[in-house]
Amino acid sequence: MRRLLVVLLVALAAGCAPEGDGSTLTVFAAASLQQVFTDIGEQFERDHPGVAVEFSFAGSSDLVTQLTQGARADVFASADTRNMDRAAEAGLLAGAPVNFATNTLTIAVGPGNPKNITSFRDLARPGLAVVTCAPQVPCGAATDRLEDAAGVRLEPVSEESSVTDVLNKVIGGQADAGVVYVTDARAAGDRGAEVPVPEAAGIVNTYPIAALKDSPELAQQFVAAVTGEVGRKVLEAAGFGPP
């Protein structure tokens, strides 16, 4: 009888535990969101004791492919609306996505700009090692549009699956220049330098976020954190524009 009573008390205690206690929230997010989402996730964990936020950062197109192939996640944040639309068409979303940020492209170069790059057109100079994102990745699709706007056709030495891979090749000395988001160039700090691209002002990537099907209520709360005051402050400080 005493053993039965102990079992019942344990079960009751579990049923009365605060929502989210011991829970893990899995967030799939575009690579360009890595630093800001890590910061937002840490604040979310402080505001929700017992909750752990785990992230998977990659190119948005790769993340959608993983989700459609059965990968488990609670929240998806894309660097463009096209890949969020893919997720919606696949029936992955729990509700309508919410736009929460915007971003534009720029040129990342090594410290001191050793190749003296001053414009987007300079990236077409012979002998210059330029890296870009692959066309299926949001930053790659935006680069294609930027080439059209600037009247320049690039011949990159490599096309990367995420914008962070492009940046890492530049700051690691494997490339002379790379086309990245403004926020990535800013995050590089003194490890690199930025060459602004006026033509990029009209080519804006909009970032949407959504809770995924069969996710817990915590997923909606995380979306609210990203789109609310906490998220706006972190995103603005990192250089993201308003949606």
| Percent composition of the chain: helix, strand, coil (DSSP 3-state, to 5) | 45, 20, 35
56-97 residue pLDDT tens:
999 999 999 999 999 999 999 999 999 999 999 999 999 999
What does the alpha-carbon distance between residue 22 and residue 161 come to, in Å, rounded to a whole number?
34
Closest among 63, 38, 66, 64 to 53, alpha carbons compared:
38
- What pLDDT does residue 141 have? 96
Same topology, domains 2-102+206-238 and 105-202? Answer is: yes
Tell me what pLDDT residue 9 has: 34
pLDDT digits (tens, 9 = 90+) for 156-206: 999 999 999 999 999 999 999 999 999 999 999 999 999 999 999 999 999
How far apart, in whole angstroms, are the C-alpha atoms of residue 196 and residue 188?
15
Is pLDDT of 6 > 70?
Answer: no
Q: Class for domain 2-102+206-238, per CATH? A: alpha beta
Q: Phi first, then psi: give them for residue 220, nearest 5 degrees.
A: -65, -35
What is the predicted pLDDT for the residue at 14?
37
Higher pLDDT, 79 or 12: 79
Contacts of 16 (CB under 8 A, 6+ apart): none
pLDDT at 174: 97
Query: Tens digits of per-residue pLDDT, 16-36?
Result: 333 444 599 999 999 999 999
Flag whether 163 is marked binding. Answer: yes
| Residue 56 assigned as binding residue | no
Q: What is the pLDDT of residue 22?
A: 58
Q: What pLDDT is stored for residue 16 in this prediction?
A: 39
The pLDDT value recorded for residue 19 is: 42
According to the annotation, is 60 in a ligand binding site?
A: yes
Residue-averaged pLDDT of the chain: 91
For residue 229, what is the enclosing H or E element? helix 229-238
DSSP state of 129: -
Secondary structure of residue 149 in the 3-state scheme? helix
Q: What are the extents of the domains in the chain?
A: 2-102+206-238, 105-202
d(CA 122, CA 116): 9
Mean pLDDT value of segment 132-156: 96
- Cα–Cα distances in Å, from 53 out to 18, 61, 103, 108, 137? 17, 22, 24, 31, 25
| 186 close to 112: Cβ distance less than 8 angstroms | no
Backbone angles phi, psi at 166, to 5 degrees: -60, -50
Contact 78, 84 (CB under 8 A): yes
Given strand 75-77, what is the order of strands in its sheet? 52-58, 24-30, 75-77, 205-211, 98-103
Level-2 CATH architecture, domain 105-202: 3-Layer(aba) Sandwich (3.40)
Helix or strand (DSSP H, E) at 105: strand 105-109
148 pLDDT above the threshold of 80: yes
Q: What is the pTM of this model?
A: 0.88
162 is in an annotated binding site: no
Tokens 């919606």 — which residue? Answer: 88
> Does residue 10 have a pLDDT over 70?
no
